Each structure stands twice: as structure tokens, then as C-alpha cells.
Structure 1
């Protein structure tokens, strides 16, 4: 037993060394730096920060490098590191209406108050490989627009002035924290939103897509999608007032959904909401669609049995770290478990063979 354990340790050490060698790749190719990943693979960095629940582009870039580009492994690394950090306090809610917008579009109002800003987007690009990117040399610098710096009111608030959209009532209750306490059902909306913003982008996207295909009767318009930087403020007890401690980039999406009314609510538009670290448009829109699907009970709607309406199904299966841990543990040694299964199958086969033989003997005796 001792020899087997030591041999296993050596094998694991060798596997780690081999992993490091594979990570580095061909030594004739320049090594990829953390700064390059942070600056040139920003969308990957944003996903790791969002699903890792830690806003730090440098650490997210380091995790991507260490994980050899495996996004879920990088997210796992960030979450593990996050648990080692001390918590100094809680920031105030960010004011997204004061966001310095790099991008702000609406699919519901062409002439949106404050204007629309296309910003950096793939929406209008041809999905063709650009072989110029493979060429050596600096990328030519083009003139870019400036971020909108003045306050930009939310478009849905203009609908709200006419009473056409459901009013969101602010709660004085401090929301729970999924990074410190396990999820319990039924979950209130703040907890659901936390789970969705931490959830796997592909899973949340598939749930959102299912609502668009009719599973939940949830036809939505993007009332507004905005990307930009917002200030983070924190109250300092010794000072007696709040100070700005930094700024973060966020993507915010509000969807507008038709609502026929219920016993408690008049016909009006309702909202879905998504808020994600960095530029994460696909995730924030998906999050808003799923958020709206999960609100069926509070709006007095019928549950159509759609997957996206099932709170337990969505929230318990959206976390890619939990899913990965449960999935990948089956590739680790299960020798004892399998041996018990093997013995059980052998026993059942022996009993079946004995019963078959006994049956054949009985038939033969009856025939005689």
C-alpha cells in the first residue's frame, strides 16, 4: 500500500510537470503574457470575472493562462482564490444611470433620449476570417467615438412615466450573498439574479433561447443594453459619508415583455434584468430573459412547465463549477465502488444461469 501511494505521488508530480510543458508550448514561439491576455482577450477575461465573482482583470488573465484557455478551469481558479481574500465591507448599490457609456442601444426606441451609441460590437461585422490579423505588424489605429460621460437615464423610465411598465419597488432588505451562503429555495429575486450572473454563459443562453422558442411564452424586446464604467462607492464609518473607491465596467440589459394582466396586476409591460461584469452582452441579455421567465409566480402567471420557469432546475444547474466538480469526479479512482458493482453483476448472472438451468431441468422432467 505504501509503495502504491508513493508511486501515485510521483505520477501526479510528473503529470503536473507535463502540464506545465504543454502550457508553455513551442519554445520557439514567444510566451503569451498576462498583459496580452488582459488587453487582447478582454471578452474571455470578462467572462472569468463574471462567473468567478471577482472583478480583477489581471487575476482573470492569469487564471486563463494557467488554465491553458479552459474557461471553466480559470473560473474555478478565481473562485478558489476569492475565498482567501478578507472582506472589508460592503459597497453601495452602483448607479447605472450615471454610467459613462461606451455602448448604449435600444431595440424599442429608435430616437432614444440621450441617443444611441453603437460602440465596439460584432453586430455589424461580417463573420469572415480576417487573415490580416495573422500578419505581423501593428494594427492600424482608427478614430473611435468618446464614451458618453453625462448621466444617461434608463429608457424604461420613460415608459414608466405613462404607467405602461411594472414599477420596480426598492427593497430595504439586505440581499443574501451566494458567495458566503449556499442557495436555498425558494429564492427571492436578488438571489436568483446573483445565481444567473454567476451561472455558466452557455447554460443561461440555452435557457433564454428556450423561452424565445415558446417554452415560457416570454416574447421580449431589448428595452436597453448599455456598457460602460460606473463608480463604486463605500461608506466609511469613521468619515460619516461615502467615498469612491474605484470604478468597474458593467453590461446592463433591461428587456420589455408584454403582459396581459392577472388578478393582481393590470395589462402592462414587465421587465427582465441582467447585470454582468465587463462587456458581456450575450450573458446579460440571456440573464434578463431567464429572470423574466422565473418571475411567473410573483406576476400571477400560469406555470407552463417550461424549463426556464423551474427555479430549482435553472438555479441548481446553472453553476458550472458545481457541475464540473460533480461531472469530473467520476474520472477519479472508484475502484472499491466498481468492485462492489462487479461482484453484484457476477452474482446476478450466476443466479440467472442457475434459474435458467433449473427451468430447463423442470421442462425436461415434465417431458419425460
Structure 2
């Protein structure tokens, strides 16, 4: 990963100063505050937290401000800061069935237990610019809206709402999701090794660039991967994070995080080793990130072709190495942007080589003309 270049200290200092001035912009306009970014640009904050592998809305908002809105640069800042933090403990797996949900929809069952909750979404908006947002002040209805958040302070704990796929599982119509007690490898602390198990692949995809994962997911829908998915369930809400305390002998809740979880149900005609049934795709992302979680679940399912006994069709979304080595936007950005750094010696060597080859080709052509 290429992160810095040395040389021209005064020029670099001037570039830093100019960058700071550009980041601040017109001094007559009030400066953006971290709370403003955190509260009013939540989806950008959520993306930075997800791809940066660090759940801290304030730090993500700070990174967005420092990066002038460049989300990939903000992810880079968060990941760099994350490497300086100590790790005190490993949390227990979160129980998404006990999620305090703000949104829950299913494209497979209309009348599911617990109901469908539309929640805050762009799905039903008209995609027209709202010029009223250019006016200063609050919208007249904003303060009048009642709070719909389940599990808020003073409320009872949210009920356990089963996942939609459990209904199919009960009838044996969907593959069994094997339980394991094996601690998955940590992609943030250990280098990626192939072949990767599903847990490691999911880590790579959830940290991957949203646009890249979206494109791969779209390719599977267009036939590059032979999967046909339904959104079994999409849920957004907050879950408790618990840590086992050995001295106490039980787990203690240390906080909560907002998550988006998507389970897709996929057609599967069966193989030499598996009967006809539905199969699963899974996506889990920090914050409200519906597009990423759905795309993640599609790519997850496409990468499972080998364990399900399917044929490899050569689709990019089926190629584990292609997906995992190219989805990380920080790795990709580092290697891409390093080519704008000085390569004077390399280019001079290439230039001399091209000149020599041209001279040899010209001399050979002149010899052929003389021979004729």
C-alpha cells in the first residue's frame, strides 16, 4: 500500500496549507460541525464505518470532514486510526433476532409474523429534487413526528422476531445453515489467504467498496453467476453488544450498534451432492446500508458455487480471488494513485528501451530495402 512520498518539504507544506484552505471553503459560510455531519449525513457516515471496520459515528464524521467528502479517503483515515487502537476483548456474536428494528421488509412473505415495517427509506419517494430543503430552518412537520424507534430508553426490551428463513427451514425447503463454534479469522489482523472460508469472504465483502460489490451483484442478476435471488428479509435496527467477563462468569452488555442485515433466498435445482431446495445469501453491514447488504448477500451466494456442487461458469462474481483481491477500495486506491507519484527513473528506462527498439526496427527495414 502506498501512503506517502518524501521530498520538496516546502512545497509539500504549502500543498497542505492550500488543502486546508480548500477544505474550509468560503469563510463567510459557517463551518460544518461534526454533529451536523453525523446526524444529517448518516448514510455517508455509515458507509465509512462499514468499509473502515470501525463503529464510531463521531470519528467517521470527522474523517468525512477532513477528507472534504471523499468517502474513500475517509475510510482510509478510519482504517489508519483503527490500527492504533488496543483490543481489549472479543464480543459475543450479536443476536439479530432480538434487534430493535426501525425497518423490516420481506419480498417473499407478505404477512410475516411481526409485520412489515417500512421505516426510513428512499424506496417510496419520487426522486425529485426537494427545493424546500434549500430554505433555511426546520421543516414544519419535523418536530411533530412521533418517535417510532423500538427499544428506546424507558421501553421494554425488543421482542425476539424470528427470521423469515426459519419458516422455510421448518419445512425443509431451504439449506441448513450449519452452526460452528470455530472462531473465524480476523481479516483486519491477519493477511488474506486463499482459498478463504465463508466467514473470511463475508468479512472481505463487508469491508469492500460499495460500488464494486454492487456491480458484481448486478452482474449476477444479469446472468453472470446463475443465481436468482429474492430478498427473504431485510432488517435495520440496533443490537446489543456483549462481552464475556471471566471474573463475573457471565456476559455484560457494553453498548449497541446499528446494523443492516439481509438474507436472500435463491433458487437451486440441486446438484450431485445436494437435493433441490432454496439456498441462502447473507449480508451484514454497519449502520443503515441496504444497497450494500443486499449486494453483499448476492455476491456471497455466487461465491458458494463450489460448496453447493455447482459449475463454475467463469463469472467474475464466482471468482473468489477476483472478488476478494479487488473489492478493497483502500488497496485499490493505493495501487492506482501511486502511479501519479514520481516514476522518473522507470520512465527513462522505458524511454531508452523504446528508442533502441525503434532504431533496431528502422535499421532492419533499411537492410531489407537495400537487399531488394
What TM-score do you get using the length of structure 2 for normalisation?
0.95
Q: CA deviation at 1:355?
A: 1.7
Gaps of 5+ in 2: 151-157
Stretch deviating more after TM superposition (257-266 or 171-180)? 257-266
What is aligned with 1:301? 310
Query: 2:365 maps to what in 1?
Result: 356
Correspondent of 2:196 among 163, 176, 187 = 187
CA–CA distance in structure 2, aligned partners of residues 7 and 255 of structure 1: 51
* Residues 172-223 of structure 1, C-alpha deviations (whole Å, 9 max, x = no match): 1110000001111100000000000000000000000001011111110000
2:21 and 2:91 mapped to 1: Cα distance? Answer: 42
Q: Secondary structure at the match of 1:159?
A: helix
Residue in 1 aligned with 2:108?
108
Aligned mates of 1:336, 1:31 — CA distance in 2: 44
The structure 2 residue matched to 1:278, chosen from 284, 287, 300, is: 287
Partner residue in 2 for 1:143: 145
| 8 Å contact from structure 1 (residues 230, 247) kept in 2 | yes
Q: Aligned residue for 2:249? A: 240
1:2-81 aligned within 5 A:
8-81=8-81
Is contact 1:119-1:145 (8 Å) kept?
no
**1:361 Cα deviation from its structure 2 partner:** 2.3
Report how many residues are paired: 359
Q: CA deviation at 1:9?
A: 0.9
| 2:89 alignment partner in structure 1 | 89
Mapped to 2, the partners of 1:226 and 1:7 lie a distance apart of 50
Say which of 228, 236, 261 aligns to 1:227: 236
Does 2:143 correspond to 1:153?
A: no
TM-fit CA distance, 1:319? 0.3
Does the alignment pair 1:289 with 2:291?
Answer: no
Q: Is 1:171 equivalent to 2:173 in the alignment?
A: no
Q: Which runs of 5+ in 1 are unaligned?
A: 364-368
CA distance in 2, matches of 1:348, 1:165: 62
More deviation, 44-53/260-269: 260-269
Higher Rg:
1
- What is the DSSP-based 3-state SS (H/G/I as helix, E as strand, rest coil) of the residue aligned with 1:265? coil
TM-score, scaled relative to structure 1: 0.96
**CA distance in structure 2 between the partners assigned to 1:45 and 1:93 by the alignment:** 23
Question: CA offset at residue 356 of structure 1?
Answer: 2.1
Give 4+ residue runs of structure 1 displaced > 4 Å after superposition. none
